Amino acid sequence: GQWNYDMRKLDAATNGNSLPALLTSLMHSHNLIDGIIADAECWKKFIEKIRDSYHAKNPYHNSVHAADVTQSAYCFLKTFGLEEVAKLDGKDVFSVLFSAAIHDVDHPALNNVFQVKTRAELAIKYNDKAVLENHHVSFAYTVIAEEAGCNVFKDIDNSTYTTVRANTIAMVLSTDISKHFEELGKLKTKTNQQATSDVPFPDPEKNEDK
């Protein structure tokens, strides 16, 4: 993974297919298509549906942005060593890449404050809390549950499904910008504790550290 990778060039080279091309390649590189999904054709249909559900007219929250975030997440995992330091397993890596890919799907290009202030349908549905972030997760899982041929989780065991879903919800909801300083504060506290004590960080045994 490269931090300064130009995703727009990949999108042009793949005729607007950067998200499926990148994510599928990364999944294959970790044997996650065969190891977790087990149905490559189902995966292809799902990720193309997700690509098409990003609004191309959005200047920022579009499928190229999703691909860029996915590549950046992979950069943290591999180039910056997070996978090794946090002892992440296949389910964790899948969760990170999957969450990055779906984290802004069906974004209306109007933020949470707008949704709440205008009493929009999504704000009513999610009780003004992380409105869009809840919608992105719900939208992706609705595609999985209801779109023909898109149930990428149909063959996995309950334990794996539960872990991936919990990870996905936690990661996507944490992208709510209103939580930014709270999460940053937690990170600074943890790193400061590590500098002045023998407490390891990240502790691979603690989900909150992951």
Nearest in space to 100 (alpha carbons), one of 40, 159, 54, 37: 54
Phi then psi for residue 33, to 5 deg, are: -70, -50
**DSSP single-letter state for residue 141:** H
User: Which one of 30, 61, 136, 180 is the catalytic residue?
Assistant: 61
Contact assessment for residue 40 and residue 46, using Cβ atoms and an 8 Å cutoff: no
Nearest CA among 43, 53, 21 for reference residue 156: 43
Backbone angles phi, psi at 61, to 5 degrees: -80, 70
Catalytic residue check, 61: yes
How many other C-beta atoms lie within 10 A of the C-beta of residue 33? Answer: 19
Residues that are catalytic: 61
